[in-house]
Structure 1
Amino acid sequence: MSVLVVSGTGTEVGKTVVTSAIAAAAVAAGRSVAVLKPAQTGVGPDEPGDAAEVVRLAGPTVTAMELARYPEPLAPDTAARRAGLATLSPADIADAARELSLHHDLVLVEGAGGLLVRFDEAGHTLADAAVLLGAPVLVVAAAGLGTLNSTTLTTEALRARELTPLGVVVGSWPASPDLACRCNLADLPASSGTPLLGAVPEGSAALPPSRFRTEAAAWLAPALAGTWSQESFLTAWAPPGPVGV
């Protein structure tokens, strides 16, 4: 696996911190890593974007690349049109990822929002770029109520396009999860048809970068160069028995 596409089930689910953790674990395992953010929205010209945040957390050896930046926090196609700027095609994204893969062991392509957010006037999405790359897609999901539906819809959309959903990582696992979070954790593998590959603790982005890099592998499964165990995590956070039982 030289290119991995990272998609969320929606906005604010923890894509960037999960991408950072994967990058940190891969670097710790001796791999060279690049992160590609095709479209950065809602960030000014001199502000650090998501790719820069990955470098901050995962370390300066990570190569960061952005293809386009749009000032308003909207879907890339909408943000580009409103700003009078050019949109991105799937080929633009795939070509950039392939070029980075020539010089790096792992290229992480971080999407914008959910899988089917439009990137251009023709309605192309991150999924179309993944098809061109023949790359697996990691799904970053929320922990709470509603995540079973959004995660399952995302994995079904991937399979409908003959893409491989590598697995699901919970982007922000709360320190005190409620009943919905704990039940969702147990139900996500069956609902989505994919394994759980990690859970990043809530607030991890606020850790000192050195500590983030040290701890990242413990949040991710071996498929992502980590040491996290789905079985152990599910056992630790198993929901209580039904009321009346």
Structure 2
Amino acid sequence: MTCVFVAGTDTDAGKTIAAAALLYRLAEGAVRTLAMKPVAAGAVATASGLRNSDALQLELAMNARNVSYAEVNPICLAAPIAPHIAAEQAGIKLSVAELLRHQQRLAQHPHDLLLIEGAGGWLVPLNEAETLADFAVAVGAKVVLVVGLKLGCLNHALLTAAAIQQSGAELVGWIGNQPQASVMSYQQENIEYLKAKLPAPCLGILPFEPSADSAKLAGYLLESQALMSLFAGN
């Protein structure tokens, strides 16, 4: 099984829009995709229960069918705060072991690639001792880093890449995402610096998309075959 974990340099880097764009791009090459948002903090109450907008985008972008929302997003928390705090408020104890059980259940559906989107940055806590990074390592996922193209992105990207490598996970690529309408000062120079310094190839640069339509952005990424070659280690 090919498993990719999408991490971000910070909370508003654009993980979801990039993750969904990856799913749409992979589908162009007939790759069977599953998506997972193991923990989501920030949800609205619906007739079907709590729903998180990021998880709903992933559910729409993946091409596997007959998969329930609860399998895509097993832990959905109402408060838009750090997951471990939101879980504590809801009387829930998060753990890597629990998330692994959910991941293994989801992975029983036929697929070629499972994409998992994190929450916040790489080292977001699950509890006093474990982080979402520990879960990514336990799953054996390759990591794609989404870099929000804004002031501070160089430091955030290099620090996160170093932390990913230190954890023992493999950083296989990064995606630059412009999260605001205005282009950051010297954006291209920042991109070129990241291309030279990050220890993984650039998979694409996503421009600002006012409607947050990831399907429109899929064409800015490497082609499906090239992505799968990187993700599968071919």
- Counterpart contact for 1:76–1:87, Cα < 8 Å: no
Structure 2 residue 34 is the aligned partner of structure 1 residue 29: no
Structure showing greater relative contact order (alpha-carbon pairs closer than 8 Å, 6 or more residues apart): 2
- Counterpart contact for 2:161–2:198, Cα < 8 Å: yes
Q: Deviations over 1:166-208 (max 9, x none)?
A: 111012266763433121100012332222111222116444x
Q: Classify 1:8/1:51 alpha carbon distance in 2 versus 1 (closer, same or farther; 3 Å).
A: same
Identity among equivalent positions (%) equals 32
Structure 2 residue 111 is the aligned partner of structure 1 residue 104: yes
Describe how 1:37-52 pairs up with structure 2 within 5 A: 37-46=37-46, 48-49=51-52, 50-52=54-56
The unaligned stretches of length 5 or more in structure 2 are 230-234
Q: Deviations over 1:145-182 (max 9, x none)?
A: 21010011111001111111111101226676343312
Q: Classify 1:178/1:41 alpha carbon distance in 2 versus 1 (closer, same or farther; 3 Å).
A: closer
Q: What amino acid does structure 1 have at the position aligned with 2:3?
A: V
The unaligned stretches of length 5 or more in structure 1 are 227-245
Describe how 1:118-197 pairs up with structure 2 within 5 A: 118-122=125-129, 124-172=130-178, 177-197=183-203
Please report how far the alpha carbon of residue 219 of structure 1 lies from its aligned counterpart in structure 2 after TM superposition: 1.4
Q: Deviations over 1:120-158 (max 9, x none)?
A: 232x11211121111111101111221010011111001
Deviates more, 1:146-155 or 1:21-30: 21-30
Please report how far the alpha carbon of residue 54 of structure 1 lies from its aligned counterpart in structure 2 after TM superposition: 2.2
Query: Residue 19 of structure 2 corresponds to which residue in structure 1?
Result: 19
Q: What amino acid does structure 1 have at the position aligned with 2:24?
A: A
Query: Residue 202 of structure 1 corresponds to which residue in structure 2?
Result: 208
- Counterpart contact for 2:33–2:64, Cα < 8 Å: no
Aligned with 2:85: secondary structure?
A: helix
Aligned with 2:38: secondary structure?
A: strand
Query: Residue 240 of structure 1 corresponds to which residue in structure 2?
Result: none
Please report how far the alpha carbon of residue 61 of structure 1 lies from its aligned counterpart in structure 2 after TM superposition: 4.5
Whose Rg is larger? Answer: 1
C-alpha separation between the residues in 2 aligned to 1:177 and 1:98?
41
Describe how 1:218-237 pairs up with structure 2 within 5 A: 218-222=219-223, 223-224=226-227
User: 81, 84, 93: which one pairs with 1:74?
Assistant: 81
C-alpha separation between the residues in 2 aligned to 1:91 and 1:205?
37
Please report how far the alpha carbon of residue 55 of structure 1 lies from its aligned counterpart in structure 2 after TM superposition: 3.2
Q: What amino acid does structure 1 have at the position aligned with 2:143?
A: V
Q: What amino acid does structure 1 have at the position aligned with 2:5?
A: V
C-alpha separation between the residues in 1 aligned to 2:34 and 2:59?
9
Q: Deviations over 1:32-60 (max 9, x none)?
A: 21111111111123264212122345668
Task: Give the TM-score taking structure 2 as reference length.
Answer: 0.83
C-alpha separation between the residues in 2 aligned to 1:129 and 1:112?
12
Aligned with 1:131: secondary structure?
A: helix
Please report how far the alpha carbon of residue 114 of structure 1 lies from its aligned counterpart in structure 2 after TM superposition: 0.1
RMSD: 2.5
